[in-house]
């Protein structure tokens, strides 16, 4: 297998592009895809303050790494979810990564913030763990970005994540979610920070290759609380499809962004948002879903 660019020994085949690259040209390809995502969706510009939400997994460490290499001012935010050894190990990976690069890292702990780790928190909230955890993370991403004066929050979502979410949204015809599923979410209300997913053009396999070739040490195990999640089954099915028809995943998601999403967006009724009476983050109710969950759990509502 030869590199499509230089004819040298290729180490990463990319079937959907009918290409293969040596390490050097794979890095070039990777950065080009990230650059294209940033430009096409006007995610951020040089000089913007970027907060990268890092879990210790391959995707978020890869996006932090590539943004630093490209010269962006990118700080990390790690949320310690209090999920036993899994949280311990993922935190170690993030701390090591930041230390090696002299990068700035903010760390927030769910136990310190709300008095309980994620498993007990979810039980008390009467919600599935991933739903309670997702609400906590989204709330803290936004709060920390506001406190630190960041222009944008970056997450590590990749093409596999986005295609799986799209499949789930279509199977259930969640038209509201279909209108909003996008590589960038603008700051459409006061106290809301813009969000961006610069890896949405890259697959999980490509990102894992990037980490291995760059020597990025990441936590391989999935969150133990996410076992049996639907998204894992959707990813499996999409990979089967990709085997039969290379490029299917990209056509499915990129085609949706170009041709599908505008229709759902146009159909959306405009909802009025206002600041939550407790925390000030935007909501359609008087008190936001996160603060209502905290009240149920009996945790001190963080202002």
* Phi-psi group of 215: left, alpha or beta (phi > 0 → left; psi -120 to 50 → alpha; rest → beta): left
Contact status: 55 vs ligand AMP (CB under 6 A): yes
Q: How far is the CB of 152 from Zn ion (least distance, A)?
A: 21
Contact status: 157 vs ligand AMP (CB under 6 A): yes
Q: Tell me which of Zn ion, ligand AMP, none is bound by residue 68, counting a contact when its beta carbon lies within the kind-specific cut-off of 5 to 8 angstroms.
A: none
Distances (CA, A) of 153 to 16, 77, 101, 111: 29, 9, 20, 22
Contact status: 202 vs Zn ion (CB under 5 A): no
Q: How far is the CB of 105 from Zn ion (least distance, A)?
A: 26
User: Distance between CA 70 and CA 168 in Å, rounded?
Assistant: 34
Q: Tell me which of Zn ion, ligand AMP, none is bound by residue 55, counting a contact when its beta carbon lies within the kind-specific cut-off of 5 to 8 angstroms.
A: ligand AMP
Identity of the residue, 78 or 234, whose beta carbon is nearer to ligand AMP in the bound complex = 78
289's tokens: 């879903």
Contact status: 189 vs Zn ion (CB under 5 A): no
DSSP assignments along 147-203, one per residue: HHT-SEEE----HHHHHHHHHHHHHTT-HHHHHH--SEE---STT--EEE-TTTTS-
Element (H, E) at 150: none
Contact status: 60 vs ligand AMP (CB under 6 A): yes
Identity of the residue, 8 or 262, whose beta carbon is nearer to Zn ion in the bound complex = 8
167's tokens: 């499949």
Binding residues for Zn ion, total number by CB under 5 A: 11
User: Distance between CA 6 and CA 41 in Å, rounded?
Assistant: 30
Contact between 154 and 34 under an 8 Å Cβ cutoff? The reply is no
Contact between 157 and 41 under an 8 Å Cβ cutoff? The reply is no
Contact status: 59 vs ligand AMP (CB under 6 A): yes
Name residues contacting ligand AMP, limited to 159-178 (CB under 6 A): none
Residue in the shown chain whose Cβ atom is closest to ligand AMP: 156
Q: Tell me which of ligand AMP, Zn ion, none is bound by residue 116, counting a contact when its beta carbon lies within the kind-specific cut-off of 5 to 8 angstroms.
A: none
Binding residues for ligand AMP, total number by CB under 6 A: 13
Contact status: 54 vs ligand AMP (CB under 6 A): yes
Name residues contacting ligand AMP, limited to 118-147 (CB under 6 A): 137
Name residues contacting ligand AMP, limited to 73-92 (CB under 6 A): 77-79, 81
Contact between 198 and 67 under an 8 Å Cβ cutoff? The reply is yes
User: Distance between CA 292 and CA 296 in Å, rounded?
Assistant: 6
Name residues contacting Zn ion, limited to 19-48 (CB under 5 A): 22, 25
Identity of the residue, 60 or 281, whose beta carbon is nearer to ligand AMP in the bound complex = 60
172's tokens: 């259930």
Q: Where are the beta strands (DSSP E) in the chain?
A: 12-14, 19-21, 49-53, 73-80, 105-109, 152-154, 184-185, 194-196, 274-275, 282-283
Contact status: 156 vs ligand AMP (CB under 6 A): yes
Q: Tell me which of ligand AMP, Zn ion, none is bound by residue 59, counting a contact when its beta carbon lies within the kind-specific cut-off of 5 to 8 angstroms.
A: ligand AMP
Strands 12-14 and 152-154: unpaired
User: Interface with ligand AMP by CB under 6 A: which residues?
Assistant: 53-55, 59-60, 77-79, 81, 137, 155-157
User: Interface with Zn ion by CB under 5 A: which residues?
Assistant: 3, 5-6, 8, 22, 25, 276, 278-279, 288, 291
């Amino acid at each position: 297998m030869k590199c499509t660019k230089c004819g040298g020994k290729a180490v990463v085949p990319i079937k959907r592009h009918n290409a293969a690259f040596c390490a050097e040209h794979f890095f070039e390809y990777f950065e080009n895809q990230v650059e294209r995502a940033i430009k096409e969706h006007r995610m951020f510009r040089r000089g913007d303050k970027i907060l990268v939400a890092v879990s210790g997994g391959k995707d978020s460490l890869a996006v932090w790494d590539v943004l630093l290499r490209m010269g962006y001012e990118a700080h990390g935010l790690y949320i310690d979810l209090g999920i036993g050894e899994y949280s311990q190990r993922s935190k170690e990976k993030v701390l090591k990564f930041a230390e090696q690069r002299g990068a700035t890292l903010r760390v927030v702990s769910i136990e310190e913030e709300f008095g309980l780790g994620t498993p007990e928190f979810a039980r008390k909230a009467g919600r599935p763990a991933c739903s309670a955890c997702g609400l906590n993370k989204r709330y803290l991403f936004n709060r920390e970005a506001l406190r630190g004066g960041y222009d944008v929050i970056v997450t590590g979502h990749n093409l596999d994540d986005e295609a799986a979410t799209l499949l789930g949204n279509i199977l259930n015809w969640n038209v509201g979610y279909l209108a909003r599923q996008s590589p960038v979410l603008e700051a459409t209300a006061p106290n809301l920070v813009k969000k961006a997913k610069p890896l949405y053009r890259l697959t999980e396999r490509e990102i894992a290759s990037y980490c291995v070739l760059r020597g990025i040490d990441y936590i391989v195990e999935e969150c133990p609380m996410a076992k049996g999640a639907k998204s894992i089954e959707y990813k499996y099915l999409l990979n089967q499809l990709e085997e039969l028809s290379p490029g299917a995943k990209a056509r499915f998601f990129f085609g949706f962004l170009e041709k599908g999403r505008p229709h759902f967006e146009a159909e959306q009724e405009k909802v009025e948002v206002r600041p939550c009476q407790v925390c000030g983050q935007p909501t359609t109710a008087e008190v936001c879903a996160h603060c209502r969950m905290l009240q149920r759990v009996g945790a001190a509502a963080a202002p």
